[in-house]
Amino acid sequence: MALERRLFDDGRQVYVLDGDIVRTGLCQDLGFSLEDRTENIRRIGEVARIMANSGLCVIVAFISPFRVDRDKVRGAMPDGCFIEVYVNASLEVCQERDTKGLYARAIRGEIADFTGISSPYEPPVSPEVELNTDRLSETEAVDLILSFLSQ
């Protein structure tokens, strides 16, 4: 949200597609199975493509655990319009930041197919930007993304 604010303040038309919000509407019929996760990313990738084609800067704030799904979305976007930002945080840091208590529930076995616990996460091989958020402040992370965009 801090990135959105900075882009907006700089005069950009920007919108954040947030995973939690999309799952309550567009993807409310999907669960967390492998097939459903793939369809979830396909749908949001298509929405992001449509929005980007209209001239919006679209920030897609999703956990996309599988490289193949991210690569399919990248392939559907015009060249240079897909910028992969790897928010790299350890499992411990993710658990500390978990305001909804989902990691604790997953560890107790209450949530199946939870990324990083009972379902794998495939880190990007060569993201355009990598943010080690256990070491960077929010401002530093946003500055790194904006620095990349300015190039």
90 is catalytic: no
Question: Looking at 64, 90, 126, 137, which residue is catalytic?
Answer: 64
> Is the Cβ–Cβ distance between 84 and 70 less than 8 Å?
yes
Distance CA(4)–CA(21), nearest Å, equals: 16
Distance CA(131)–CA(108), nearest Å, equals: 29
> Is the Cβ–Cβ distance between 102 and 20 less than 8 Å?
no
The DSSP output letter for 133 is T
Q: Which residues are catalytic?
A: 64
